[in-house]
């Protein structure tokens, strides 16, 4: 029950603090839906050009929205850095509660994830409109959704870790350091399992002119799919274990 109590508290406080995220998260699908709502006569007159533009707009709108949600869930942990230190006064009501670091970590992670998921759910109708108006198949947006949820779980754990981590002179750079390391390890995993040049060129081609044929070229550049899945799974699990392991130790100033 402590997990759920902490999670409920974190949802309420996060939703109050992260109100501007609603606006930023809704802007990409809102602008994309407005652009793609072309009158039928105009669409029929230049369908060939508009289909490609609509596919690119829909893909970028979903990707930008997903990026905002992922960044927001990770940045929520940084809000603690803007408040007084634990040694002077409680920077969070939960800091004065008799809750151990382990339940606190999982409660915070669950609360951050639920809060960002609520923001995402409010944008789903606009995202659905963009997906319907796009010539891309639904499976493309399903995969984007799955990737966003997986990354949001990871960044929610990161946000909870930062709320429990002790304050140091380098606290403000925790997000940057962990993010840079994650990107480096991700690039190493891609380099080990793909044809790097082919993967890079085909991925840029897919984003610039999205289609299932372009995505097939991206998939074809992966020389060892099993190795790629294993490396990405190890990277993901390694970060989760790292955050959980640090959460077992109480924060000290």
Domain residue ranges of the chain, discontinuous segments joined by +: 2-247
Higher pLDDT, 71 or 82: 71
What does pLDDT average to over the chain? 82
- Confidence (pLDDT) at 75: 78
Report residue 90 as tokens: 């409680």
Q: Tell me the C-alpha distance between 240 and 203, whole Å.
A: 28
Instruction: Output the pLDDT for position 3.
Output: 63
Return the ∠ at Cα 180 (arms to 85 and 174), rounded to 5°. Answer: 5
Which tens digit of pLDDT belongs to each residue from 98-133? 566 667 788 888 888 888 898 899 999 999 999 998
Residue 81 pLDDT: 45
Mean pLDDT of 33-60: 85
Highest mean pLDDT among 143-157, 169-183, 238-252: 143-157
Residue 158: is its pLDDT beyond 90? no
Residue-wise pLDDT for 193-232, tens only, equals 999 999 999 999 998 889 889 999 999 999 999 999 999 9
Backbone angles phi, psi at 102, to 5 degrees: -70, -50
Residue 191 has pLDDT above 70, yes or no: yes
Q: Where are the extended beta strands (E) located within the chain? A: none
């Amino acid at each position: 029950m402590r997990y759920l109590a902490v999670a409920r508290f974190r949802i309420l406080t996060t939703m109050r603090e992260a109100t501007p995220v609603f606006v930023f998260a809704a802007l990409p699908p809102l602008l994309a839906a407005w652009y793609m709502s072309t009158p039928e006569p105009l669409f029929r007159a230049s369908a060939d050009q508009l289909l490609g533009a609509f596919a690119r707009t829909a893909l970028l709108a979903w990707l930008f929205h997903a990026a905002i949600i992922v960044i927001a869930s990770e940045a929520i942990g940084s809000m603690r850095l803007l408040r007084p230190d634990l040694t002077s006064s409680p920077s969070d009501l939960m800091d004065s509660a008799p809750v151990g670091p382990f339940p606190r970590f999982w409660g915070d992670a669950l609360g951050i994830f639920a809060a960002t998921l609520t923001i995402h759910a409010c944008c789903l109708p606009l995202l659905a409109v963009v997906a319907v108006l796009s010539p891309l198949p639904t499976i493309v947006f399903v995969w984007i959704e799955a990737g966003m949820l997986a990354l949001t779980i990871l960044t929610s754990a990161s946000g909870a870790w930062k709320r429990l981590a002790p304050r140091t002179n380098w606290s403000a750079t925790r997000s940057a350091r962990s993010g840079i390391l994650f990107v480096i390890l991700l690039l190493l995993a891609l380099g080990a399992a793909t044809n790097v040049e082919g993967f890079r060129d085909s991925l840029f081609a897919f984003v610039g002119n999205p289609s299932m044929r372009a995505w097939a070229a991206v998939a074809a550049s992966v020389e060892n799919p099993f190795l790629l899945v294993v490396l990405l799974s190890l990277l993901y699990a390694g970060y989760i274990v790292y955050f959980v392991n640090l959460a077992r130790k109480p924060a000290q100033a």
